[in-house]
Amino acid sequence: MGICWYFPDCFFLLLHFVRRKIFSNSKLRKHGIYAGTLLISALLAFDQSNGKSILIFWIGMAKYILILSLIFVIINQLKKRNTFGSKSIKQYLTFTIVIFTVGVVSELISLPVILQLLKSIDSNSYHQYFIENTEKEQFIYWSSFSLAYLIYIVLKPLKSKAEEYDKTIKDQISTSSSLASIQSRVNPHFLYNALNSIASLAHTEPQKTEEMALELARFYEKCTDKKADLLIPLRDELSILDSYLKIEKIRFGDRLQVSLPTDEDIMDYLVPSFILQPIVENAIKYGYHSHENFIKIRISASTESDILTIRIYDSGPPFSENLQSGYGLDSIHKKLKFLFPDRHSISFVNQPEKCVEIVLYQKTNII
């Protein structure tokens, strides 16, 4: 009857494993069955050798079973919160499991010795300090091995999770640093051109000089506000672009004609920050011709099944056939690669109308 004390604990522990899907992985489940079989075999052998003492044994072991159950509850909560990467949590779990293992092994080793000594004292023999029954020793060996094996197969996936979490965090930090570095190089020659224009207007048109300086300040204020955001609503991106275009309109006047999208249904779609300004800047730089004395720029945006398509049209000369990442758009390619991996495309189209086409396949299409 002593073995009956084992089955309730075994049943509830197994039920906990199934409910928490701890053994959902087929390989992990196979190793768990092997280790569990070894442990049950050892317990059956121990029960046959000395049925009375197993009752005392499982009374002593009950606290360790409760501790093990608590450990699995903690593990599952950490899995839900994705906090395996925390060094302190990993140290705490390791310490807890080590203490649990030491306690169980100590119980396995010390309990038979104590029982044997109690029997010897009961029979008025005070000089027997060893265990004669080798089956008990075999039980201790098999139990210790099975327990260590179980702990190993539970800790192994946790280690993989922790390593995966650490890698994800490092990749995110690397991505943020790379994008910040890219962003810091977006507008240098634009600033030079703007300052030169302010200097040239200072003597002839002081009113425009003041207006341009204020617009330049507003533009960089918006840039500073959004610099830390990797993804921003299309509305904010167009607002930044509008501030930039106001500066260019002061330079070019009516020679620069611009049309921006106004459809409110698409304004909440997320796009990489500062993705439009470099394209428009290059359209003005390469598209303006003094003999034609004007440049037209038109931007359109549309959606279909969570796919956002942005087109930037300009009246400048056609793109060259060998155009790759040139045209001053390296930062655009890098941002799209980081933020929309395998979910974007960028094309330089000459027919039927010249434009840069950006397509973003959105996972979560709006904020």
Question: Do 125 and 158 share a domain, yes or no?
Answer: yes
Which range of residues forms the domain containing residue 188?
184-361
Region 241-263: what's the mean pLDDT? 86
Question: Do 246 and 303 share a domain, yes or no?
Answer: yes
Question: Do 113 and 222 share a domain, yes or no?
Answer: no
Q: At which of 147, 173, 199 does a domain end?
A: 173
Counted domains in the chain: 2
CB 68 within 8 A of CB 100: yes
The pTM of this model reads 0.52
Question: Do 152 and 288 share a domain, yes or no?
Answer: no
Evaluated on CA atoms 95, 98, 104, 110, the torsion sign reads negative
CB 362 within 8 A of CB 306: yes
User: Helix axis angle, 26-49 relative to 134-183, nearest 10°?
Assistant: 160
User: What CATH number did the domain enclosing 274 receive?
Assistant: 3.30.565.10
Region 350-365: what's the mean pLDDT? 81
Question: Do 219 and 196 share a domain, yes or no?
Answer: yes
Q: Classify residue 179: in a domain, yes or no.
A: no
Q: Classify residue 366: in a domain, yes or no.
A: no
Helix, strand, coil content of the chain in percent (nearest 5) = 65, 10, 20
More reliable by pLDDT, 255 or 44 = 255
Q: 167-176, 206-215, 328-337 — which is least confidently predicted? A: 167-176
Question: Do 128 and 68 share a domain, yes or no?
Answer: yes
Question: Do 144 and 270 share a domain, yes or no?
Answer: no
Question: Do 192 and 323 share a domain, yes or no?
Answer: yes
| Percentage, residues of the chain above pLDDT 70 | 44
Q: Classify residue 84: in a domain, yes or no.
A: yes
The structure tokens listed for 89 are: 């949590």
Q: Classify residue 190: in a domain, yes or no.
A: yes
Question: Do 162 and 310 share a domain, yes or no?
Answer: no
Question: Do 55 and 164 share a domain, yes or no?
Answer: yes
Question: Do 168 and 215 share a domain, yes or no?
Answer: no
Q: Which pLDDT tens digit goes with each residue over 13-54?
A: 444 445 445 445 555 555 555 555 545 545 544 444 444 445
Q: Classify residue 30: in a domain, yes or no.
A: yes
The residues facing 153 across adjacent strands are none
Q: Best-predicted range by mean pLDDT among 22-36, 212-226, 314-328?
A: 212-226
Q: Classify residue 178: in a domain, yes or no.
A: no
Question: Do 166 and 194 share a domain, yes or no?
Answer: no
Q: At which of 173, 208, 236 does a domain end?
A: 173
Q: Classify residue 249: in a domain, yes or no.
A: yes
Q: Classify residue 226: in a domain, yes or no.
A: yes
- Please report the pLDDT score of residue 298 as a whole number: 92
Q: Which pLDDT tens digit goes with each residue over 47-79?
A: 444 444 454 455 555 555 556 656 665 666 565
